Amino acid sequence: MKALIYKTLQEYFGYTDFKEGQENIISSIMGNGDVLGIMPTGGGKSLCYQLPALLLPGVTLVISPLIALMKDQVDSLTDLGIPSTFINSTLKQNEVERRITHASNNEFKLLYIAPERLESQEFRDFLKSVPISLVTVDEAHCISQWGHDFRPSYLSIAPLINQLPQRPIVAAFTATATKKVVQDIVHLLSLKEPEIVITGYNRENLHFSVEKPDNKHTFILEYIENHKDQTGIIYCTTKKEVDRLHEFLNLKGISICKYHAGMESAERNRIQENFIYDKYEVMVATNAFGMGIDKSNIRFVIHHNMPKNIEAYYQEAGRAGRDGLHAECILLYAPMDVRIQRFMIEKLPETAEKAGEYEKLQEMISYCHTPRCLRKYILEYFGEKNVPAACDNCKNCGNSHLVDITIEAQKVLSCVKRMGGNFGILFTAAVLKGSRTKRIKETGFDKLSTYGIMSNLATVQITDIIQHLITEGYLHITKDKYPVLRLLNRATAVLKGNEKVFGIAFQTPKEAEETYSSLFESLRALRRDIAANENLPPYIVFHDSTLLEMCRHLPADRQSMLEIEGMGRRKFEKYGETFIQAIGRYIAENNIEPAPGAIFKSDNTPVKAASHLITFEMYKLGKSIENIAAEREIILSTAKDHLLRCWQEGYRINLDDLIKSGYENVILDKIKEIGCERLKPIKEALPDEIDYFSIRAVIKKYNLG
Ligand code: ADP
Ligand code: MG
Ligand code: ZN
């Protein structure tokens, strides 16, 4: 058998040797056993089932979510002289029938289908008439809700296999394998004592780096200009950012295309195809793009934002350099990315996994702050042992300029100690910076000897040093919604002057950060309105620096808003909620896709369980708005905002629930009196206890505005 396998490898595929893991997997399949192959992107998973497909008597059914790539794969197999075909939604019905007839006659060795096909009883019946020897499940992590690409239709695979007249061999493949996902694959596919083959995660040809540029857009532009004629992908967290970056680069004359789930599916397929065929050099996309992209010559993957965890990062970055040649993976970090990711987690329903998400996020943040080998960090995250301390192919290994930051570290550590270990990163940074916020006064921390001892640095730099100390094991951060800092034993040596701390030289951020400009602009517009209303110059309302701080840290509730520099108690009372709401809208509009645990429809269209719909689900269960807010840990006004939005989208909401009881007529009278062009005058003319939502709800209920 071994000789036959090698002969086939050479004759059909033209290779002399197997890549790591391939031979093992192929022998297991040929020995009639189930397998689960966990190999990195570019590891050569396809060959693991294509070669056995040639040798086995019947048909190999390949289930893959990647419709856009099926044609390519089938074309290249046909080119190798291996009869194969695919059936998916891109074909006309009579063509589907034609292919089905040929398949029933055992004319193909491989038949590719999308998982959604299996939902059709007719198709399942057809499969019963085909001699299937091997079922291959590609991108098998899609079966797990804990992976990042869950597809419900993958759950139809096991029932199908059980229905077949003779149980075929089952082979599953994926590049991602956390324990939980592996368990799910084995269990949900009902693999029979599978041979699990895990090859190393290392991708030697990838160069890793983390950058903290002041302006991400110009950084990317310069990078592209210095790497002319190279193909690359730039990932952004949100659709909006994709649009903005695309527009920016397009105006600068870069050959660029974009991809996100907000686009028509036909348009997405067209773009993807054009990119694969090198019609564009650079792709800007959300993580909706690229699962299993087989394009082998991608020379760089830049992350415009930090992803939610290392699994997601490594999978996306891993799309670079599948051909084994040098390629670069660059992550652009900014503190705002942390806030966005935290928001995304906060929105998830309360499950046991939610806490785990915070933990994974912190590991991702630490990746962005470690001064050590980035590759080692990643490989150890995936549980590899005995990884060499330096790889000589990442930014940190190439960076011989670690600087002594012992003094800064001592300042931070002693401040955490004095604060008693119950406060978060931003608040601690504010104390070190010497901010004059209400909460600092209340806690009396402005009396600490460490108050303001880092006032020469920008807040971002201080939070960076704190993150560095977490990464290096001097500080512990609790992993939950309100994480707080604690000193670890190792800190004592630093405080006593017995241990030095080294870090990456910190950069001085510039004031105007274009990266944040869309939020910055809308906050400025809000400030302009307020200022006009109150007849004040805008800077009296808030300084630019305060708006910038809001952009950096995205405060979402009273407490975090009060930690923003320049947000005193009076300012908060006057404007705080308005700005919290503006930031909330920004977060909502910039929704990440696909949300963790997103539900997929067929053909690659992710459907998000949007936050307001989660609120609606709870509302339908008869819960009060107060209870929903408490349970979801969102502020009351957000919950109300959600319901108003649902109402607008046509969901059945009883608007009376949003109107403060007993006040409906009072509000209605005022509206009749002064009109409803603007809400503020109405609000001011009414008793204080009536909130804006009551007014908005009345306007909607009577269809006035
Ligand atoms: P993935 O594991 O990501 O699905 P692929 O199956 O697409 O990877 O393979 C990645 C690349 O490796 C392809 O270009 C393929 O032709 C090549 N490849 C696969 N097996 C071998 C081999 N034994 N020797 C050399 N190249 C190989
Ligand atoms: Mg593949
Ligand atoms: Zn390294």
Q: Are 490 and 449 in contact (CB under 8 A)?
A: no
**For residue 508, what are the CA distances in angstroms to 33, 173, 413, 461, 462?**
58, 45, 22, 8, 11
Half-sphere exposure of 489 (CA within 13 A, CB side): 0
**For residue 691, what are the CA distances in angstroms to 618, 637, 660, 675?**
22, 9, 8, 17
- Ligand 1, residue 39: give the atom nearest the CA: 2
Higher pLDDT, 701 or 254: 254
Report the Cα–Cα distance between both ends of the chain, in Å, rounded.
77
Q: Which long-range contacts (CB under 8 A, 24 or more apart) does 623-632 make?
A: 625/657, 625/658, 631/350
Ligand 1 contact via 47 beta carbon (within 6 Å): yes
Superfamily of domain 206-398 in the CATH hierarchy: P-loop containing nucleotide triphosphate hydrolases (3.40.50.300)
Task: Show the beta-strand stretches assigned E in 488-585.
Answer: 502-504
Give residue 354's pLDDT: 81
d(CA 269, CA 359): 35
Give residue 292's pLDDT: 52
- Ligand 1 pocket test: pick from 7, 13, 18, 46 the residue with the most ligand atoms within 8 Å of its Cβ: 46
Q: Which residues surround ligand 2, an ion (CB under 5 A)?
A: 45
Instruction: Report CA(44)–ligand 1 centroid distance (Å).
Output: 3
Q: Are 552 and 516 in contact (CB under 8 A)?
A: yes
Considering the chain, what is the average pLDDT of its residues?
86
Give residue 593's pLDDT: 40
Which residue in 103, 127, 274 sits closest to 86, CA to CA?
Answer: 103
Tokens of 639: 């919950």
Instruction: Report CA(45)–ligand 2 centroid distance (Å).
Output: 6
Q: Are 439 and 558 in contact (CB under 8 A)?
A: no
Which residue in 653, 683, 644 sits closest to 667, CA to CA?
Answer: 683
List, for residues 190-208, the tens digit of each pLDDT value.
999 999 998 888 898 999 9
d(CA 55, CA 37): 19
Evaluated on CA atoms 640, 646, 650, 652, the torsion sign reads negative
CATH 1.10.150.80 applies to domain 510-604: yes
Tokens of 446: 């402005």
Ligand 1 contact via 45 beta carbon (within 6 Å): yes
Give residue 531's pLDDT: 87
Q: Are 133 and 29 in contact (CB under 8 A)?
A: no
- Ligand 1, residue 17: give the atom nearest the CA: 23
Q: What are phi and psi of 505, to 5 degrees?
A: -55, 130
- Ligand 1, residue 19: give the atom nearest the CA: 23
Q: What is the mean pLDDT of residues 644-666?
A: 82
Helix (H) or strand (E) holding 299: strand 298-303
Instruction: Quickly state the pLDDT bin for 257 (edges 50, 70, 90).
Output: very high
Predicted confidence (pLDDT) at residue 602 exceeds the cutoff of 90: no
For domain 2-198, which architecture applies? 3-Layer(aba) Sandwich (3.40)
d(CA 612, CA 589): 12
Instruction: Quickly state the pLDDT bin for 630 (edges 50, 70, 90).
Output: confident
Residue nearest to atom 9 of ligand 1 (CA): 44
Predicted confidence (pLDDT) at residue 595 exceeds the cutoff of 60: no
Q: What are phi and psi of 394, to 5 degrees?
A: -145, 165
Predicted confidence (pLDDT) at residue 135 exceeds the cutoff of 60: yes
d(CA 212, CA 216): 8
Residue nearest to atom 15 of ligand 1 (CA): 44
- Ligand 1, residue 18: give the atom nearest the CA: 23
Task: Give strand pairing partners of 585.
Answer: none
Evaluated on CA atoms 561, 565, 568, 572, the torsion sign reads negative
Residue nearest to atom 27 of ligand 1 (CA): 44
**Domain segments of the chain: what residues?**
2-198, 206-398, 403-503, 510-604
Q: What is the mean pLDDT of residues 350-360?
A: 82
Residue nearest to atom 10 of ligand 1 (CA): 42
Predicted confidence (pLDDT) at residue 253 exceeds the cutoff of 80: yes
- Would you identify the CATH topology of the domain 403-503? Arc Repressor Mutant, subunit A (1.10.10)
Contacts of 27 (CB under 8 A, 6+ apart): 1, 2, 5
d(CA 486, CA 702): 54
Q: What is the mean pLDDT of residues 317-334?
A: 91
Question: Do 2-198 and 206-398 have matching folds?
Answer: yes
Q: What is the mean pLDDT of residues 17-30?
A: 94
Contacts of 242 (CB under 8 A, 6+ apart): 236, 258, 259, 260, 284, 285, 286
Instruction: Indicate whether this model's pTM tops 0.75.
Output: no
Instruction: Quickly state the pLDDT bin for 25 (edges 50, 70, 90).
Output: very high
Q: What is the CA radius of gyration of the chain?
A: 28
Closest ligand to 44 CA?
Answer: 1
Q: Determine the 3-state secondary structure of 109 from DSSP.
A: coil
Ligand 1 contact via 40 beta carbon (within 6 Å): no
Instruction: Quickly state the pLDDT bin for 649 (edges 50, 70, 90).
Output: low
